[in-house]
Structure 1
């Protein structure tokens, strides 16, 4: 799986403390990893964090603004200045007793004008000094939720251009869209289609290219994808 594709996904981060012979796992789970703020809807969204362990979970949240999302120049900039915060995560710190849940509220303070804003919110377990009679390793598993704040009149607009052995999809809209459930079809009959094992999220103003299936010829057949905007999915055919 390419590094470009991985940048499109929510992340799981593993932090190791110590170099020891035995291991313990500080675990947690989130009820969702992708959050959409849509215009005209409530500016508040909740993520429920669960601690299934037998020990307290000490949780810290961090908000990162994603610049140039989905590109080689992508940056994730942690926002700490209250004057610059457009996405709040509260509480920033929490203690979850064993087998308990905690709601972390995300609050959007903006409505983007040109295109959607993209954030990543890290849910990170923290710990003090590790103490044990025997050698041990503490594994902390952190998660990053992907957050989209959408402008008024959100719309994706995907076009495709085939050239030689590749086809390039460009999204000239103002929100991201996920290309999934892909097929290559030689005709309009369903039995002429074969499934594609690839797909991608295309951010606003960005492009994504894939190799044409073996045997595909320009001018014959089409590539078909489901285009998912976070709420709805439509099927679109892209002639070769």
Structure 2
């Protein structure tokens, strides 16, 4: 969920119960402090004004076949950099009944439940990402010196051979994706000082990704 600059800072998450059980849902927002770093931590705050995020309801009951919405509102003003949140949606069910024919032959029931995290970004009005690269003999370091995050995905690290033709390149190695939070770096191990990263870049959730080559 992306609260982009200069748009209405609220959105809804729709959850649906497609099972035959009644679910009791707990919704817990947290701020992610120092995201993307070794000191990243999840901080809970009961006061929405201090947290900068209002999530309602915090608890709900979802009947079989039912559907409910969870409203998320950013209360942030005059941000100078991103604030990053995770909203955890955790389901619980009541007692599970099993049939029992006799003591020696009992049925066993196992119910697997999964909690989900919704990533929420509150961005400053002058949000700008600025990628800077530093290339060594065996490393390529990409750093975000801007004030907002972006996602690099479908990344491939490619080594360029001495040119024999316009399209003469070696095979590329996939390096996956990485979210570049403000002030964070992504270090890639390279084969030479001329390797380049070919990836797709998405700034906002609503914008189309574009292809980039770094450096």
TM-score, normalised with respect to structure 1: 0.75
Match of 1:171 in 2: 144
Does residue 144 of structure 1 match 2:136?
no
Structure-2 change in CA distance of 1:154 and 1:83 (3 Å)? closer
Give the whole-Å Cα distance in 2 for the aligned partners of 1:104 and 1:177.
25
1:225 correspondence with 2:199:
yes
Residue 8 of structure 1: aligned partner: none
For the residue of structure 2 that corresponds to 1:84, the secondary structure is helix
What's the RMSD between the two structures over aligned residues? Answer: 2.2
Of structures 1 and 2, the larger Rg is shown by 2
Q: Deviations over 1:11-70 (max 9, x none)?
A: xxxxxxxxxxxxxxxxxxxxxxxx000121111111111111011111110001100101
Separation in 1, partners of 2:168, 2:26: 51
1:234 pairs, out of 196, 210, 215, with 210
**4+ residue segments displaced more than 6 Å:** none
2:201 match: secondary structure: strand
Question: Residues 83, 233 of structure 1: CA spacing in aligned structure 2 closer, same or farther, 3 A cutoff?
Answer: closer
**Please, which of 187, 202, 205 is the counterpart of residue 209 of structure 1?**
187
Structure 1 residues 93 and 189, CA gap change in structure 2 (3 angstroms): farther
In structure 1, list runs of 5 or more residues that go unmatched. Answer: 1-34
C-alpha contact (below 8 Å) 1:111/1:152 kept by paired residues: no
2: CA distance between counterparts of 1:196 and 1:79? 42
1:68 aligns with 2:34: yes
Tell me by how many angstroms 1:160 deviates: 1.0
Show CA shifts across 1:207-240 (max 9, x none): 011111xxx432x45332222112243333224x
User: C-alpha deviations, 1:81-122, integer Å up to 9, x for none?
Assistant: 344231111111111111222111111111352211000000
- 2 CA distance for matches of 1:67 and 1:221? 33
Structure 2 residue 18 is matched with structure 1 residue 42? no
Q: CA deviation at 1:195?
A: 4.1
Q: Comparing both structures, which one devotes a greater share of its residues to strand?
A: 1
Report if the CA contact (8 A) 1:181-1:196 is conserved.
no
Alpha carbons of structure 1 residues 54 and 141: separation in structure 2 relative to 1, 3 Å: same
SS in 2 for 1:144: strand
Task: Say which SS state the counterpart of residue 111 (structure 2) adopts.
Answer: strand
Distance 1:121 1:221, change over 3 A: closer
* Distance change (3 Å), C-alpha of 1:82 and 1:43: closer
Matched residue SS, 2:79: coil
